[in-house]
């Protein structure tokens, strides 16, 4: 390939997710030029152009340092002309100038892309200057097959947490003076970040204590806060020595990782930076302590403002630590402090907002994003919902997934052995996602549609509760299979953070049905069966979840529902309960060949009574594919049974 050719590399799984407007193209100075890692929709605009000030404020808080705007994509109706690319390039350069300044923009190449709103076709252009005529067509566009590897093999995360308390005395009869003092105090804090006496302590969060390198101390006087990021020379790891100013981020990153390691933000090497103010250095002059008394000239009041900063940055592993602090951590702290300062200002003399930053890595977005939430009114209230809706809109996320709720925030804390502390996500000790690693279905040329997200496997005899046997005329059969299927479904909603309630017991399920009037009080404590309709009532009462019920006259007719079931798994992704007679199963997926009609059902069987051993469950066929009709003409579902299928729907919530 010619060295002068212009090649765009696309890492993001979905480039165009809007039908109109502008999307900002996000890249990184640590990637090869013209590499698009993600796109963010412009959500603040008037009839003619984006609101650049508001957009820059949002993106400054949202994007981790180490990522920046490298272009824009404008969506037009069948009009992929160069003039529209010029409009996109101009918009991107104006936004970049607000975010990074004129110096960083001077030598950069800007991407202008135009997408057809009907076909989704995209045409790319680039510009190396602000001249509207200096626009060149791109020669090649490469779509990376393994974008996670591209991002996280070469990069790491840097985390800095810093609580700040500002005590202010202000005159009671002059609130405007208090506002000036507040602004002056925050500016003084920002200046302190550059103080020669400030100490930045750098250590790892990613390795066990016995293997971790010792913390490194970098002082404010050793840092260059004025150098442009594009002018920094990366460090070869082999060339590093004991001089702390020559160390790179790789010094605190894992030297080797297993081939099975999951490449993602949550599993990335993470470096911890702590900010300390060193007051213990020897002074060149010998001085005695001084106490200065400054009496107030009028009645005053003490005002205390608390900030809880937590900044997350992305850096290539070859970036010198000193520049990682000066060009990533420092501006990240400044931007976050300014965002919080602005949010607190209108409520300076009343109850201050409880602001706290959270980091998320939603599916389809390769890098983490940072969101500052107001915690005083709770995340379910309307104002918080509106904040999340705007974020979903900006990132092209579905509105029926609670992806940016606090429960889904990245957990970057570590235990004493260096492992990530995910105890808040573990829940119970039951087996999760039992279908992973099972043999294939045997359907030739089929398309597999599966449950989306995690669930727990509930089955007979768990929790010391015997729901496996009840006398039915002359037979003894189980009675709790539908209860167990319901528990698995509820666990799915809990693990996807749609609810915080616990998985209900058999008695709590029965109590719910009595409370809504579906059953008599004598039903509580009984061993009566329940079916799809009762399950829908319980899901509606406990979770506010609506359900769709499909009816089939016999197991032989189930294949006729394959297309509808596949659509459910692709769009909703929730587990399904199949109930027929006194039997109930949990359906986790469909493998369906529409041309031949051959299909298989991924069944999670609640009738299992053994220990929670994955190998035993899979080998015993308690979780696996069941052909609608096998090679001997046998159907897993009895031909003479009437079946109800309960399809829980995702609630419309963010």
Give whole-number Cα distances, 309 to 221, 330, 349, in Å: 23, 12, 21
- Structure-block tokens of residue 230: 């594009």
| Active site annotation includes 607 | yes
C-alpha to C-alpha distance for 372 and 356, rounded to whole angstroms = 5
Radius of gyration of the chain from Cα atoms? 30
Q: Give the phi and the psi of residue 361 in degrees, each rounded to 5.
A: -135, 75
**Which sign does the torsion angle of CA 577, 580, 584, 590 carry?**
negative
How crowded is residue 72: how many other Cβ atoms within 10 Å of its Cβ? Answer: 28
Asked whether the beta carbons of 95 and 24 are under 8 A apart, the reply is yes
Sequential DSSP letters for 4-24: T--EEEE-SS-S---SSEEEE
Catalytic residue among 42, 481, 562, 623: 481
**CB under 8 A, 24+ apart: contacts of 178-184:** 178/303, 178/348, 178/349, 179/345, 179/348, 182/303, 182/305, 182/341, 182/345, 182/348, 183/341
Catalytic residue among 400, 433, 518, 607: 607
Q: 347 burial class (0-12, 13-18, 19+ CB within 10 angstroms)?
A: exposed
Catalytic residue among 58, 144, 269, 605: 605
- Structure-block tokens of residue 35: 């590499």
C-alpha to C-alpha distance for 202 and 269, rounded to whole angstroms = 13
Helix (H) or strand (E) holding 609: none
DSSP state of 96: H
| Active site annotation includes 605 | yes
Q: Which residues are catalytic?
A: 481, 605, 607
């Amino acid at each position: 390939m010619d060295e002068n050719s212009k090649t765009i590399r696309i890492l993001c799984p979905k480039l165009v997710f809007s039908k109109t407007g502008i999307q900002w193209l996000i890249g990184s100075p640590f990637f090869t030029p013209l590499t698009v890692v993600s796109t963010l929709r412009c959500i603040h605009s008037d009839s003619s152009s984006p609101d650049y000030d508001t957009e820059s404020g949002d993106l400054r808080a949202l994007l981790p340092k180490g990522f920046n705007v490298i272009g824009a994509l404008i969506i037009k109706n069948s009009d992929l002309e160069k003039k529209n690319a010029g409009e996109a390039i101009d918009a991107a350069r104006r936004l970049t100038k607000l975010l990074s300044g004129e110096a960083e923009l001077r030598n950069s190449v800007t991407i202008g892309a135009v997408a057809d709103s009907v076909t989704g076709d995209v045409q790319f252009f680039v510009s190396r200057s602000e001249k509207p005529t200096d626009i060149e067509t791109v020669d090649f566009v490469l779509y990376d097959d393994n974008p996670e590897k591209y991002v996280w093999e070469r990069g790491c995360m840097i985390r800095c947490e810093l609580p700040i308390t500002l005590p202010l005395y202000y005159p009671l009869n002059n609130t405007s003076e208090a506002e000036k003092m507040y602004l002056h105090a925050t500016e003084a804090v920002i200046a302190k970040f550059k103080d020669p006496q400030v100490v930045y302590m750098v250590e790892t969060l990613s390795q066990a204590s016995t293997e971790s390198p010792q913390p490194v101390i970098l002082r404010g006087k050793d840092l260059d806060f004025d150098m442009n990021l594009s002018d920094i020379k990366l460090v070869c790891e082999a060339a590093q020595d004991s001089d702390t100013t020559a160390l790179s981020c790789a010094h605190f990153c894992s030297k080797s990782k297993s081939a099975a390691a999951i490449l993602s933000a949550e599993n990335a090497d993470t470096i911890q930076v702590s900010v300390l103010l060193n007051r213990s250095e020897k002074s060149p002059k010998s001085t005695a302590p001084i106490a200065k008394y400054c009496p107030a000239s009028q009645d005053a009041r003490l005002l205390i403002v608390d900030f809880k900063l937590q900044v997350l940055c992305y850096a290539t592993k070859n970036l010198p630590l000193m520049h990682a602090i000066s060009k990533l951590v420092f501006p990240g702290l400044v931007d976050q402090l300014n965002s919080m300062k602005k949010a607190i200002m209108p409520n300076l003399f009343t109850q201050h907002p409880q602001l706290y930053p959270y980091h998320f890595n939603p599916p389809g977005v390769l890098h983490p994003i940072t969101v500052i939430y107001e915690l005083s009114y709770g995340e379910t209230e309307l104002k918080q919902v509106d904040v999340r809706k705007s974020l979903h809109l900006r990132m092209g996320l579905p509105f029926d997934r609670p992806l940016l709720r606090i429960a889904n925030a990245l957990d970057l804390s570590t235990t004493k052995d260096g492992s990530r502390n995910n105890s808040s996500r573990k829940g119970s000790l039951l087996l999760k996602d039992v279908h992973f690693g099972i043999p294939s279905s045997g359907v030739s040329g089929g398309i597999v549609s599966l449950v989306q997200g995690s669930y727990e496997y509930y089955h007979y005899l768990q929790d010391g509760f015997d729901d496996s046997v009840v006398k039915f005329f002359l037979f003894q059969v189980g009675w709790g299979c539908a209860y167990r299927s319901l528990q698995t479904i509820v666990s799915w909603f809990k693990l996807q953070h749609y609810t915080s309630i616990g998985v209900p017991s058999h008695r709590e399920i029965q109590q719910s049905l009595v409370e809504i009037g579906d059953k008599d009080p004598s039903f509580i404590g009984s061993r009566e069966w329940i079916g799809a309709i009762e399950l829908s009532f319980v899901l509606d009462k406990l979770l506010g979840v609506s359900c769709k019920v499909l009816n089939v006259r016999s197991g032989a007719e189930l294949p006729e529902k394959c297309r509808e079931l596949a659509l459910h798994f692709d769009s909703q992704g929730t587990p399904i309960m199949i109930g027929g007679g006194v039997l109930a199963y949990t359906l986790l997926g469909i493998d369906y060949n529409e041309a031949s009609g051959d299909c298989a059902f991924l069944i999670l069987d609640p009738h299992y009574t053994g220990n929670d051993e994955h190998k035993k469950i899979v080998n015993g066929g308690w979780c696996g594919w069941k052909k609608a009709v096998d090679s001997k003409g046998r159907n897993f579902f009895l031909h003479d049974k009437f079946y109800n299928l309960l399809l829980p729907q995702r609630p419309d919530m963010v």
